[in-house]
């Protein structure tokens, strides 16, 4: 209570007293401040400590004199709360967090003129709606990736063509039903996966965007998810547990991240992944600059460095994601893999990127907001 009031007072004070100082973004990059504090996904900023081959931080530190401190966050919500606490310069926010940060005035617009490599960024991502608000860019794209359909190759000799594998009761290629052998994701954002499937399966519903659903479309999506509930082995929440389930629990198909696919392949498991004909949901992460960044010069230097092909390629191969600089696909990766093909770079058009569903949307009747997604998904997982 009291702390809230203090926070409120401080925030108001900042807005009144310092507002003008932060309203204008930097116009010229000066000397580095010697330090840079970043909130990032695990694996996003590697300094060679995990694997000597994967290091795109040490060189930057030597070149600019900016010592990089990384605070890793496991969920988008953790990122938002870390940024709310303050004290960080940059954050690699996903689409379900970035707009919340903009709305909460925790991040500031970027002066793209100070990031020369901005021109090399995929033109489709330059003005993506999850970081561009009112014509201003609140960050520089970093990486993106799809939520793939992971499957067991001893059961599926050819890749399953449709998400129906996990949504509709059916017999799998080995002749046994899919009941109890598939999984769904344990997060309300998964409602979008069901909506995406219905876009193709039932065009009469008129779903244009899986993150913008009116009441009628939403009801149809929930009906599908309730049907799916009877088929699921369980809702996966934790990557390690999902990997155990594929190895030891007889689960053969589920939505998953490239991370699990790559990890299971490394263990020589009979696992592969695909993006079915309906397309897939995905994430696109943006490096955003904190509104009260203490080291703006180092931050801008990093923004430029984050787009360098070597950085982009390293992250993409290490994390299982795609570069936002298309030319980076031609650069050789530290591990030598064809990461752009592996991680679905050519399927960009089929990816519907994570966004927080909001009541105010492009539909004139309005959309069902995320809070209701959360509430209803909890009911569905609980069997109601």
Partner 1 sequence: MQTAITNPILRSFSNTLYRKNNWFLLLLLTPPLLWFGVVYLGSLFALLWQSFYTFDDFSMAVTNELTLGNYRLLFDSTNLDIIMRTLSMAVAVTLACACIGFPIAYYMTRYGSAREKGFFYIALMLPMWASYIVKTYAWTIILSQQGILYWLFNHLGLTGALNAALQLPVIGGNTLATSNLGRFIVFTYIWLPFMILPIQAALERVPTNLLQASSDLGAKPAQTFRKVLLPLVIPGVVAGSIFTFSLTLGDYIIPQLIGPSGLYIGTMVYTMQGSIGNMPLAAAFTVVPIVLIFIYLALAKRAGAFDAL
Which stretches of the chain bind partner 1, using CB under 8 A?
Answer: 1-3, 75, 77-78, 180, 186-188, 229, 232-235, 237-238, 240-241, 244-245, 247-250, 359, 369-372, 374-375, 378-379, 381-384
In angstroms, what is the minimal distance from the CB of 210 to partner 1?
Answer: 18
Give the span between the Cα atoms of 193 and 163, in whole angstroms: 9
Q: Which is nearer to partner 1, 92 or 178 (CB)?
A: 178
In angstroms, what is the minimal distance from the CB of 164 to partner 1?
Answer: 20
User: Do the Cβ atoms of 337 and 81 come closer than 8 Å?
Assistant: no
C-alpha angle 154-199-381 in degrees, rounded to nearest 5:
65
In angstroms, what is the minimal distance from the CB of 285 to partner 1?
Answer: 18
Q: Which is nearer to partner 1, 28 or 268 (CB)?
A: 268
Give the span between the Cα atoms of 58 and 46, in whole angstroms: 9
In angstroms, what is the minimal distance from the CB of 334 to partner 1?
Answer: 30
Q: Which is nearer to partner 1, 2 or 16 (CB)?
A: 2
In angstroms, what is the minimal distance from the CB of 149 to partner 1?
Answer: 20
In angstroms, what is the minimal distance from the CB of 369 to partner 1?
Answer: 6
Reference 262, options 181, 156, 145, 167; nearest CA is 145
Quick one: which H or E segment has residue 35? strand 35-40
Q: Which is nearer to partner 1, 330 or 384 (CB)?
A: 384
Q: How far is CA 34 from CA 39, 50, 107, 119, 139, in A?
A: 17, 24, 21, 27, 21
3-state helix, strand, coil in the chain (%, to 5): 45, 20, 40
Q: Which is nearer to partner 1, 123 or 240 (CB)?
A: 240
Q: Which is nearer to partner 1, 231 or 303 (CB)?
A: 231
* Residue 79: Cβ within 10 Å count: 28
In angstroms, what is the minimal distance from the CB of 135 to partner 1?
Answer: 23
Q: Which is nearer to partner 1, 154 or 244 (CB)?
A: 244
Please state the φ and ψ torsions of residue 199, each to the nearest 5 degrees.
Answer: -55, -40
Residue with tokens 């009761």: 169
Give the span between the Cα atoms of 109 and 114, in whole angstroms: 12
């Amino acid at each position: 209570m009291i702390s809230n009031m203090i926070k409120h007072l401080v925030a108001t004070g900042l807005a009144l007293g310092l507002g003008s100082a932060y309203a204008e973004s930097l116009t010229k990059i000066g000397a580095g401040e010697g330090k840079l504090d970043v909130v990032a996904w695990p694996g996003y900023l590697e300094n060679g400590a995990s694997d000597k081959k994967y290091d795109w931080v040490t060189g930057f530190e030597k070149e600019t004199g900016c010592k990089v401190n990384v605070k890793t966050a496991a969920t988008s919500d953790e990122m938002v709360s870390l940024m709310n606490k303050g004290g960080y310069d940059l954050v690699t926010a996903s689409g379900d967090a970035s707009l919340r940060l903009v709305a909460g005035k925790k991040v500031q617009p970027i002066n793209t003129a100070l990031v020369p490599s901005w021109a090399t960024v995929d033109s489709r991502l330059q003005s993506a709606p999850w970081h561009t608000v009112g014509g201003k860019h609140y960050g520089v794209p970093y990486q993106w990736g799809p939520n793939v359909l992971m499957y067991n190759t001893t059961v599926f000799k050819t890749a399953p063509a449709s998400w129906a594998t996990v949504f509709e009761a059916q017999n799998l290629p080995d002749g046994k039903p899919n009941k109890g052998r598939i999984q769904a994701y344990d997060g309300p954002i998964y409602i979008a996966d069901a909506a995406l499937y219905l876009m193709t399966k039932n065009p009469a519903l008129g779903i244009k965007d899986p993150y913008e659903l009116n009441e009628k479309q939403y009801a149809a999506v929930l009906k599908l998810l309730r049907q799916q509930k009877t088929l699921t082995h369980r809702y996966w929440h934790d990557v390690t547990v999902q990997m155990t389930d594929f190895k030891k629990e007889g689960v053969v198909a589920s939505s998953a991240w490239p991370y699990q696919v790559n990890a299971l392949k490394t263990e020589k498991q009979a696992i592969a992944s695909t993006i079915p004909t309906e397309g897939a949901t995905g994430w696109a992460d943006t490096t955003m600059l904190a509104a009260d960044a203490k080291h703006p010069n180092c931050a801008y230097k990093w923004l430029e460095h984050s787009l360098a092909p070597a950085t982009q390629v390293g992250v993409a191969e290490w994390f299982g994601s795609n570069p936002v600089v298309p030319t980076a696909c031609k650069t050789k990766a530290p591990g030598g893999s064809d990461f752009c093909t592996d991680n679905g770079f050519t399927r960009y058009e089929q990816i519907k990127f994570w966004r927080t569903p909001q009541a105010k949307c492009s539909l004139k009747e309005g959309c069902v907001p995320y809070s209701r997604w959360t509430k209803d998904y909890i009911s569905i997982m609980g069997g109601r």
